[in-house]
Structure 1
């Protein structure tokens, strides 16, 4: 797939109002793709759509949709059909995390988290992937996380959700080989976005050095342009080194290490010492 020409594509991007989703929208608009931009905040989507249309002459359609709704995927498909649009590629980017001891978390909020991070991506994939395969073209990018590669105490549901997305997508990669559709999971690490603001604490990224959304998207598009892209790609050199090494560390040890790294008391002590 040409990295510089997406004129034949209409790409559906969830979580498009900020962060990685907005960076995907900009990068693809520059390369000629038409876009369907989805998030809860219609005002942001409308502004982004107008800016991309003016700058690059592409059509960008904003659709406000709460992806935490149990019927989000079906509602979104209906909205796209009603607008007379056909998505030829899909980026399941929307997601959020909660932070804290599992026993103190709000069960309803956890249900919303699982819906946004797992259920809606699966249902959107089910809705659109058969059409991509029938056309023999297009791509599916599911955004996972470095959290998929290790236990994530204090973000137990988020880490498990991203591990699901990673495994799910890598399985789809194998199932769709030879169809003309490119499928892979993208795993960013700590990224400068609204992630921590939504979580409510910087402890969620344990003080890790941040990558920019544009760097994450550049990694994804470079992987997409490969002659034979693999089932997943990790953003950031340090992350790419770290993830395989985790397989050689006992799970007991990684769970213990991650529990210490995300301990708010540890970070408070570290900040006080400076």
Structure 2
């Protein structure tokens, strides 16, 4: 396993699920942490546990990232030259579920903000310092949904497609500065995300689920190796090349057969 190259990291959505798994795996690697999420009580509990178990420094930064003042505070922390952050993990996100026209507009705007605008803002805040230091990394937690039409989650799929495309292009821009971007294309993961989005998990496939630790392990291995993208889980790695080459008409036909309006 390649030696992990970074000594500090900021993780969004760190209080549960994939974000919590990132925090735990980074602490195991002796990485100092800044943990960001809405629930301060859960962050404090996790910070206390990680500091005790791994003797790492853990800073808690409670923030609803759709609140401009709190987002600005997190961006300021990332750009602080006195306390450099080596690795940004853009994990926080949300999704509305249902027909777009029937969903409340505020739900879809929140999804667009958390999945697109927040990662853009935070990445823009940390990159100048990373470039000047000649080292740093960004992890974007995207989804296999980025490759597919997703009726019933149209905004979510579109935001993840943006995040994946932006990460690939950005990675090519900053590589010459010693900075890299890794995009993680997750499949179905038992993280609480679907429940929070109002998805009845009984309607989803029973097999092929990942746990959050599998996602974090695959992502951090890709970071250590400097890979631009990773697909956690063997079953999903097999599917990804097919999704890239199948004609869109074929993908629509496949999705249409499985979609339940």
What is the TM-score with the length of structure 1 in the denominator? 0.88
Q: Say whether the 8 Å CA contact 1:203–1:262 is kept in structure 2.
A: no
| Alignment correspondent of 2:227 | 230
| Alignment correspondent of 2:212 | 213
Question: Within the alignment, does 1:186 sit opposite 2:184 as a pair?
Answer: yes
Q: Sort the Cα spacing of 1:102 and 1:53 in 2 relative to 1 into closer, same or farther, 3 A.
A: same
Equivalent pairs counted in the alignment come to 259
Give 3-state SS (helix, strand or coil) of 2:210's partner: coil
Residue by residue over 1:106-126, the C-alpha shift from the partner in whole angstroms, topping out at 9 and shown as x without a partner, is 111111111100000000000
- Any gaps of 5 or more consecutive residues in structure 1? 265-274
Q: Say whether the 8 Å CA contact 1:16–1:22 is kept in structure 2.
A: yes
Give 3-state SS (helix, strand or coil) of 2:52's partner: helix
| Alignment correspondent of 1:258 | 255
Q: Sort the Cα spacing of 1:113 and 1:55 in 2 relative to 1 into closer, same or farther, 3 A.
A: same
Root-mean-square deviation over aligned CA pairs: 2.1
Q: Say whether the 8 Å CA contact 2:16–2:191 is kept in structure 1.
A: yes
Q: Sort the Cα spacing of 1:173 and 1:130 in 2 relative to 1 into closer, same or farther, 3 A.
A: same
- Any gaps of 5 or more consecutive residues in structure 2? none
| Alignment correspondent of 2:109 | 111
| Alignment correspondent of 1:240 | 237
| Alignment correspondent of 1:92 | 90
Residue by residue over 1:134-192, the C-alpha shift from the partner in whole angstroms, topping out at 9 and shown as x without a partner, is 11112110111100111111000000000000000000110011212221111110001
Residue by residue over 1:9-48, the C-alpha shift from the partner in whole angstroms, topping out at 9 and shown as x without a partner, is 2200000001111011011101111000000000000000
Give 3-state SS (helix, strand or coil) of 1:58's partner: coil
| Alignment correspondent of 1:272 | none
Give 3-state SS (helix, strand or coil) of 2:230's partner: strand
Q: Hey, what's the Cα distance between the residues in 2 that align with 1:237 and 1:81?
A: 37
What is the TM-score with the length of structure 2 in the denominator? 0.92
